[in-house]
Amino acid sequence: ESNGRLYFADSLLIPKLSNRKTKVKPVSEKDLNEILEVEKTLGNEAEEKALVFECHRLKSHNIIKEPMRISVLDSTAGFDIASYNDSSDVKPTRFIEVKSVDNSNKFFISENEISKSKLYGNQYFLYLYNREKKSFVIIQNPYQNVFNNEKWKLQSKLFECKKVA
């Protein structure tokens, strides 16, 4: 009896699933690469739209500064766009993480992005670009308003494992 666990059939080392309770289908390497490519394209599209949106926001507040798309320079920054909150700002004071979402508003976020949202607090913004509505939901201080808010469900999907000593 497998109790829904992965086991190997015969001696062929082909994984078979039994009594599966989740609706996750097996994904081939080719399919995974296609999915990742689509996600990358959607992410880039959302970042480009956020950059345009941010340019309009700055102009509408008479802030004569240009936002910078940091993600193309440093994918480890913990945010995608650096911008400004005031025309007197000498350096960026608005740090924007962009996520492409559908109507479910489900997204994935890294530990680094969560850490930066905690560090920057009210200067950190989450721009959720809804591809279906073609609009943004903007969340200031997601560390407080998403990650520590019971209206949002956080679920771990990935764990880092390493052998110690």
pLDDT in tens, 12-34: 554 455 455 556 778 888 988 89
**Comparing 151 with 47, which gets the higher pLDDT?**
47
Q: What are phi and psi of 139, to 5 degrees?
A: -120, 115
Query: 131: closest CA among 101, 108, 104?
Result: 101
Q: How many angstroms separate the CA atoms of 1 and 84, rounded? A: 60
CB contact set of 101 (below 8 Å; sequence gap of 6+):
107, 128, 129, 130, 131
Q: What is the pLDDT of residue 152?
A: 83
Query: 103: closest CA among 62, 137, 79, 141?
Result: 137
Q: How big is the CA angle at 76 (ends 71 and 77), to the nearest 5 degrees? A: 65
DSSP assignment of 92-120: --EEEEEEEE-TT------HHHHHHHHHH
Beta bridge partners of 140: 125
pLDDT tens per residue, range 53-62: 999 999 999 9
Q: How high is the mean pLDDT of the chain?
A: 86
pLDDT tens per residue, range 65-122: 999 999 999 999 999 999 999 999 999 999 999 999 999 888 888 889 999 999 999 9
* Whether residue 45 has pLDDT greater than 80: yes
Q: How many angstroms separate the CA atoms of 37 and 28, rounded? A: 14
Give me 18's structure tokens: 């039994």
Query: 116: closest CA among 78, 163, 76?
Result: 78
